[in-house]
Amino acid sequence: MRQADFATPRAMAATPSTAATSAVQSNMRATDATGAGGNFSSVFRQVQGEVARFIEQGGGNATSLSPQGRAYLEQSQPVNVLGSINQGGEIGEVQQQFLASIKPWTEETGARLGVAPEIVAAHAALESGWGQRPLRQGTGTDTNNLFGIKAGGKWQGDVASNVTTEYEAGSGAALKKTERFRSYPDQASAFRDYAQVLLDNPRYRAALNTGADAGAFAQGLARGGYATDPNYATKLTQLATRLQRTAAAD
């Protein structure tokens, strides 16, 4: 995960739901050539559905997927957002400490947004690298900006400039840019501002009141333009689903 890939609304690059990768295209066209898979678009939709169900069920052993599904999953998730969670679903000590430190704010924010607190925690973990890659001021001071929210013209608070990766609309090319981000005095302020951003912007309405449905929340943010990362919704859905399963097992 690159720091601050996600921020307030901007142009979206093509998402995995609308643009197949070259590896998946090759596999599916090979299937079409044998006549076993019908036309290309039909096979692609089947693969999308297969991978979506796999993620909704919390991931796990990808060998249960078809060859096309495994190729799609691999290409659509170039960054392993579950790298800090072992194959047994257990979260490492550093990650547990991060989740414990933000728990009061994830519960408060989840209640305001109408979503499960684990989904809010996953969002913070995804964007901040489990709190290990925080946005910083030029002096090295932590901005407490766990959600990569940019400082637009109406922002009256402190600002920090950081390098971020943006994905160009259409081509999906990754570009490094220096952007201005919001800086907060503490984590509580960061979570409350994050909630207000989502509540105030009608583009994120579909993400609100989605309860424990991590996929619906992630898709609502993605469609609203929260991030330019074409794999954003997939990453957030998978991580949030795993955190929910871990919480249920406790």
Active-site residue flag, 200 = no
Active-site residue flag, 50 = no
Residue 142, sorted as left (phi over 0), alpha (psi -120 to 50) or beta, turns out to be beta
Give the list of residues 6+ apart from residue 87 with CB closer than 8 angstroms, or none.
none
Please provide the size of the chain in residues: 250
* Per annotation, catalytic residue among 166, 179, 213, 229: 166
Residue whose tokens read 């659509």: 76
For residues 203 and 130, give the distance between their C-alpha atoms in angstroms, rounded to a whole number: 27
- Cβ-based burial of 163 (10 A; exposed 0-12, middle 13-18, buried ≥19): exposed
For residues 10 and 182, give the distance between their C-alpha atoms in angstroms, rounded to a whole number: 16
User: Residues 105, 108, 112, CA angle at the centre, nearest 5°?
Assistant: 130
What is the amino acid identity at position 167?
Answer: Y
For residues 108 and 94, give the distance between their C-alpha atoms in angstroms, rounded to a whole number: 22
* Per annotation, catalytic residue among 127, 193, 213, 229: 193
Nearest CA among 131, 135, 143, 134 for reference residue 185: 143
Q: Which of the residues are catalytic?
A: 166, 193
